[in-house]
Amino acid sequence: MTTKKLRQYKYDPDTFNRYRQERDYFNFLSGILATMPDSMSQLSKEITDITVERYDQIVRCAEEGKPFVAGYFCAAPEIYEAMGLPWYMIMATPFLAASAPYLTEDIDAAEAMGLGTDWCTACRLSLYYIEAGLTPKPWALIGLIHPCDAGNMLHQAVARNKKWRDVPIFASDPPYFEDQRGIDYYAGELRRMVAFLEEHTGAKLDLDKLREVCRETNKQYEILSEYTQLRRAHPCPHGWGVGGPQAFAATQVFQTGRPRGTKWLQQLYADAEERVKNKTGPVPKERIRYFWFDLLPFGWVFELMPWLEQEWGAVLVMEMFGLQPYTPIDLRNEETIFKGLAKRNLYDSPMIRQARGPADYFASDIARVVKDYDIDLVIWPGHMGHKDGSASTGIMREICQELKVPYIHIGLDLFDKRYTTPEECKDKLSKFFSAMGLG
């Protein structure tokens, strides 16, 4: 038997500056939130602190030559956690730090590098950060060949380009349809991922540890499921400021299977429950309950979402990342655990669920949310990178017509506010609200 020598990258202090800047940016946000005693700010502060800690951990690993990987929320983070492998998403900036002040500058730099402007800005930025040496080079990369062509292209580029060509890359093969055969197949793919990670990082997967992590995630998803029911209340207890995106960050990125994440979810639930009992929401009078069917416009979120609340009494009741089916993982044995992970990561994970397979998910999710959450308006932002979803806009419109709920497709870039400016979005939404007699 031969023991393969593990690859280790030499730490270069001049690299991944942007990653450090992001950490500092989150630290700065945490400092601001510390001065705000209200419960929502404190919930946000805890998530921000958790984020900073992960950034610190990755930086430390890089400096000390310890293994860490780049992975994805939908590629079984439960497994990285159980293996004790620190990880980060190479799309972290667009997902998490998109409101950072340098974002526009980076988008232009990506364009100057020759990356196509019709390519999803999140993917474009991620490749730019890698090519420009601004993000930490991992020991191994878990790539994605789903749910969209844009993500697939990113990982093809990373695999072939010079910068990270020596980083081993693995992508699990996602089945198209949702059935037991698909779950069985994808469970096998996750096992291959474990073998890959063990080979390239030296970390080992211990079944008991995986069971422990999954048990804790079951608790987390159960609380999250309870929380999402609370958002059905009139008025909705929380608006755009806290809820799905932060819960996603806790359960699927920074606190997967960790008691601290569970505690945060309990606090989120308790805060919402109290508001439901007191009948308080984010605005004095809730006039429009809307379903934002995508990521929030993180690049300019502060320029649109508060305006919707203040100007129109329009409350974000549900969005794509808060909409998660609940699949508890059956902990009986290794097989049931891997099958549970397969289902959760392939068929439940937000955005992956809708964009990976048949377009019918767009219709069925809308139908369910509109009825359950008493939605007055469905907003499909039409992010320029989400061509898969925009190709289904006709289906979404049809289903909304059947449900007799107004539907608007804006057409914007969630990260680059110059594509359709916040003012243009406001104008379009205002005209639409007026025409539909909303608010």
Partner 1 sequence: MAIYDAYLTKLAEYVGGLRQKGRRVREIDCPSGVDKLLEGLPVKVGPGTNSDVILRSDTFVEMGNPDVGSSAFLFWTDSPALIADGRITLIGPDIPESPGASLPFGQVLIMAGAGLSEKDHQKLEHTQFVADQIEGYMIRSTSQLIWSRVSKEAAEKGFCFETLGRSLMAIFKSEVPEVEAMEILFVTSSREDLGPLDDIGAQVKKIYKSILVADWKARGFDAYVCSYGGDCKTCPDQPVCDEIKEVVKVRKQMISESEGPSDS
List contacts with partner 1 (CB under 8 A). 116-118, 149, 225-226, 228-230, 232-234, 273, 276, 325-328, 358-360, 363-365, 367-369, 371-374, 384, 392, 394-395, 398, 402-403, 418-419, 421
Q: Are strands 69-70 and 87-88 parallel, antiparallel or unpaired?
A: parallel
Cβ 367 to partner 1 shortest distance, Å: 5
The smaller minimum CB distance to partner 1, of residues 62 and 369, is found at 369
How far does Cα 171 stand from its chain's mean position? 18
Closest CA to 243 of 219, 255, 226: 226
* Burial class, 267, CB count within 10 angstroms (exposed 0-12 / middle 13-18 / buried 19+): middle
The smaller minimum CB distance to partner 1, of residues 53 and 348, is found at 348
Q: Are 28 and 99 in contact (CB under 8 A)?
A: no
Cis-peptide into 174, omega within 30 deg: no
Q: Tell me the C-alpha distance between 367 and 96, whole Å.
A: 29
Cβ 410 to partner 1 shortest distance, Å: 15
Cβ 198 to partner 1 shortest distance, Å: 31
Cis-peptide into 306, omega within 30 deg: no
Instruction: Supply the DSSP string of 45-114, one letter for each residue.
Output: HHHHHHHHHHHHHHHHHHHHT---EE--TTS-HHHHHHHT--EE-TTHHHHHSTTSTTHHHHHHHHHHTT
Cβ 403 to partner 1 shortest distance, Å: 8
Cβ 225 to partner 1 shortest distance, Å: 6
Q: Are 239 and 270 in contact (CB under 8 A)?
A: no
Instruction: Specify the 3-state DSSP secondary structure of 246.
Output: helix
The smaller minimum CB distance to partner 1, of residues 25 and 196, is found at 25
The smaller minimum CB distance to partner 1, of residues 36 and 270, is found at 270
The smaller minimum CB distance to partner 1, of residues 117 and 333, is found at 117
The smaller minimum CB distance to partner 1, of residues 62 and 396, is found at 396
Sheet holding 377-380, edge to edge: 314-319, 288-292, 377-380, 407-409
The smaller minimum CB distance to partner 1, of residues 240 and 373, is found at 373
Cβ 322 to partner 1 shortest distance, Å: 11
Q: Provide the 10 A C-beta neighbour count for residue 138.
A: 27
The smaller minimum CB distance to partner 1, of residues 141 and 342, is found at 342
Cβ 17 to partner 1 shortest distance, Å: 18
The smaller minimum CB distance to partner 1, of residues 28 and 326, is found at 326
The smaller minimum CB distance to partner 1, of residues 130 and 369, is found at 369
Cβ 284 to partner 1 shortest distance, Å: 19
Q: Are 290 and 432 in contact (CB under 8 A)?
A: no
Cβ 144 to partner 1 shortest distance, Å: 15
Q: Tell me the C-alpha distance between 244 and 250, whole Å.
A: 10
DSSP collapsed to 3 states, 168-214: CEEECCCCCCCCHHHHHHHHHHHHHHHHHHHHHHCCCCCHHHHHHHH
Cβ 358 to partner 1 shortest distance, Å: 5
In this structure, what token pair is assigned to residue 279?
């009948």
Q: Tell me the C-alpha distance between 375 and 286, whole Å.
A: 12
Q: Tell me the C-alpha distance between 20 and 25, whole Å.
A: 9
Closest CA to 347 of 175, 157, 145: 175
The smaller minimum CB distance to partner 1, of residues 49 and 273, is found at 273
Cβ 159 to partner 1 shortest distance, Å: 19
